[in-house]
Amino acid sequence: MFYRPEDGHGLPHNPFNAIVAPRPIGWISSRGSDGVNNIAPYSFFNAVAYVPPQVMFASNGNKDSVRNIRETGVFCTNVVAHEMRHVMNATSATLPREVDEFDHAGLEHAECATIACARVKGAPASMECRVTRILELEGADNFAVFGEVTGVHIREDCLVEGMFDVTRFNPLSRLGYRDYATVREVFSLPRPDD
pTM score, whole prediction: 0.94
| Any domain includes 99 | yes
- Identify whether 141 is part of a domain: yes
pLDDT, residue 61, reads: 79
Q: Is residue 12 part of a domain?
A: no
DSSP 81: B
CB 167 within 8 A of CB 142: no
CA-closest candidate to residue 29, choices 158, 144, 155, 116 = 116
Whether 184 is in a domain gets the answer no
Q: Is residue 188 part of a domain?
A: no
Q: In total, how many domains does the chain have? A: 1
**Tens of pLDDT, residues 70-91:** 999 999 999 999 999 999 999 9
Burial of 23 (0-12, 13-18, 19+ CB in 10 A): middle
Q: Which of 85, 41, 49 shows the shortest CA–CA distance to 182?
A: 85
Residue ranges making up the domain that contains 87 = 24-176
CA separation for the pair 57, 78 (Å, rounded): 12
For residue 44, CA distances in Å to 24, 130, 171, 183 come to 8, 18, 15, 18
In the prediction, which pLDDT does 138 show?
A: 86
Residues 29-76 pLDDT 10s = 999 999 999 999 999 999 999 999 999 999 987 889 999 999 999 999
Average pLDDT score, the chain: 96
> Is residue 140 over pLDDT 80?
no
| Domain annotation covers residue 77 | yes
Distance between CA atoms of 164 and 170, rounded to whole angstroms? Answer: 12
Q: What is the CATH number of the domain that holds 38?
A: 2.30.110.10
In a domain, 5, yes or no: no
Q: What is the pLDDT of residues 171-190, one digit of tens each?
A: 999 999 999 999 999 999 99
Instruction: Identify the pLDDT of residue 62.
Output: 82
DSSP for 153-186, please give it.
EE-GGGEETTEE-GGGT-BEEE-STT-EEE----
